[in-house]
């Protein structure tokens, strides 16, 4: 059975997949959710957390060729993991995620998305080496979320280490040859749909699905997302 490795985005952790898990279980899918290094220590790791460390954690969780799924900033981490893998992964799935080209950095990509609403909420703490959490950011990340536990979700957010976002992605032949799939979020206010389309165009990808969702479909439409993932896994 093909293993799915779930990789969260910025300021969050493996808990973002909790509402998706029952739908993956219902379909008998094999999966593991990763907590990226640096997102679980209250920002105390700061400058010590590297992109290479995050890639290694992903590949360790995969335990061999797998299907890597990166959400949002997690797209950078899964790209780096795929590029660094000793044995090529089966596929990489980008869920409303950043899809880099050679020598690009997350910070550069983020600033290039002029339609994104996140820019003014990014206020790095250079001394600690983190981007602190922000309640202001919630209106864009959780724009279509109507659950009554939003405050609880926000309390689980952790400062995001700066160093991984400053590292340049190094494209390798292994990464270039790894099949890639993109799941677009049509109502996203964090990574704009137009920017998602532009990133896909650079790899000649056509999104396998365009969900009528904001930035967090694993919370707002988990069953639809699970169905989409099952189709990709079957085809990969």
Mean pLDDT throughout 73-94? 96
Compute the radius of gyration of the chain from its Cα atoms: 16
Mean pLDDT throughout 160-186? 94
Residue numbers of the domain that contains 73:
3-235
pLDDT at residue 196 greater than cutoff 70: yes
Percent of the chain with pLDDT over 90: 81
pLDDT at residue 80 greater than cutoff 80: yes
Amino acid 23: pLDDT: 98
By C-alpha distance, which of 193, 228, 186, 227 is closest to 208?
228
Q: What is the DSSP string of 44-84?
A: -SGGG--HHHHHHHHHHHHTSS-EEEEETTHHHHHHHHHHH
CATH number of the structural domain spanning residue 87:
3.40.50.1820
pLDDT at residue 43 greater than cutoff 60: no
Percent of the chain with pLDDT over 70: 98
Mean pLDDT throughout 125-132? 89
Q: Which of 66-75, 98-107, 114-123 is the least confident region?
A: 114-123
Structural domains in the chain (count): 1
pTM of the model: 0.95
Other beta carbons within 10 Å of 170:
15
- Euclidean distance between CA atoms 101 and 69, whole angstroms: 17
């Amino acid at each position: 059975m093909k293993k799915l490795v779930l990789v969260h985005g910025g300021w969050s952790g493996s808990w973002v997949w909790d509402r998706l898990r029952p739908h993956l279980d219902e379909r008998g899918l094999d999966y593991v959710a990763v907590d990226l290094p640096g997102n679980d220590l209250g920002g105390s790791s700061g400058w010590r957390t590297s992109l290479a460390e995050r890639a290694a954690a992903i590949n360790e969780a995969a335990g061999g060729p797998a299907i890597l799924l990166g959400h949002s900033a997690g797209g950078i981490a899964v790209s780096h993991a795929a590029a660094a893998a000793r044995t090529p992964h089966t596929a990489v799935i980008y869920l409303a995620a950043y899809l880099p080209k050679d020598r690009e950095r997350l910070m550069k990509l983020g600033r290039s998305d002029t339609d994104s609403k996140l820019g003014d909420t990014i206020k790095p703490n250079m001394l600690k080496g983190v981007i602190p959490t922000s309640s202001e950011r919630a209106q864009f990340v959780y724009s279509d979320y109507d659950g009554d536990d939003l405050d609880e979700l926000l309390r689980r957010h952790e400062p995001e280490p700066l160093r991984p976002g400053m590292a340049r992605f190094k494209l390798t032949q292994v990464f270039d040859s790894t099949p890639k799939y993109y799941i677009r979020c049509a109502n996203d206010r964090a990574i704009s749909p137009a920017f998602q389309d532009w990133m896909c165009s650079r790899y000649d990808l056509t999104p396998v699905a365009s969900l009528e969702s904001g930035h967090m479909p694993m919370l707002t439409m988990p069953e639809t997302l699970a169905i989409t993932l099952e189709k990709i896994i079957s085809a990969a």
